[in-house]
Amino acid sequence: MFRKDAHAYAASLAATLMVAIVVFRAGDGTYGAIPADEIDGEEVLVIGEHDPWE
């Protein structure tokens, strides 16, 4: 997923699920988005966060 797409996906997920979503960059250079509470200490580079409550 491209960075722009990951941010759009994260914003949509945050608004739909009403949870904080983190955009991260994986080791292979791709981007992804997951709920913030699912990051379990793995080595990921956090790019941004979308919080529906802000």
DSSP class per residue in 40-51: -S---EEEEEE-
Helix (H, G, I), strand (E, B) or coil at 15: helix
Tell me the pLDDT tens digit for each residue of 11-38.
Answer: 999 999 999 999 999 888 899 999 999 8
Domain span at residue 22?
3-50
Q: In degrees to the nearest 10, what's the CA dihedral of 43, 47, 53, 54?
A: 140
At position 24, the amino acid (one-letter code) is F
| pTM > 0.95: yes or no | no
- Please state, as a whole number, how many other Cβ atoms lie within 10 Å of the Cβ of residue 40: 5
Phi, psi values for residue 13, rounded to 5°: -60, -45
Number of compact structural domains in the chain = 1
Structure-token pair, residue 24 = 């991260």
